[in-house]
Amino acid sequence: MTTITPTPLMFWASGSDVLARVDRVGVHIGRAEQEDLLRVFEDERRAAEAARDPKAWLAALCKAHQLTNARMQARRWDRASGFAA
């Protein structure tokens, strides 16, 4: 039997905004910061892969996955509201 440990939510969408959990508070992060974070997570993933550290590898993927989902949801809200360019 596999035990699944829930991953804390670090990124989520609120309307067209993407928020990040910082000291238990949701903080708005802009598109440039989102891109920077995705690059950092990719660097973390590659480093974990090189070090053969599956836990660090999975942690980097989870963060990137949450941020990507939040970005997609915010973009959907933009399109549905007619704000998307």
pLDDT at residue number 5: 64
Alpha-carbon gap, residue 78 to 37, rounded angstroms: 21
> In which residue are the tokens 């596999």 written?
2
Mean pLDDT of 52-71: 96
pTM (2 d.p.): 0.85
C-alpha distances out from residue 11 to 52, 68, 75, 85, Å: 26, 9, 14, 23
pLDDT in tens, 23-57: 989 999 999 999 999 999 999 999 999 999 999 99
Burial class of residue 74 in the structure, from the number of CB atoms within 10 Å of its CB (0-12 exposed, 13-18 middle, 19+ buried): buried
Per-domain residue ranges of the chain: 30-80
Strands (E), 1-85: 11-14, 17-22, 25-29
- As a dihedral over the C-alpha atoms of residue 37, residue 43, residue 45, residue 48, rounded to 10 degrees, the angle is -140
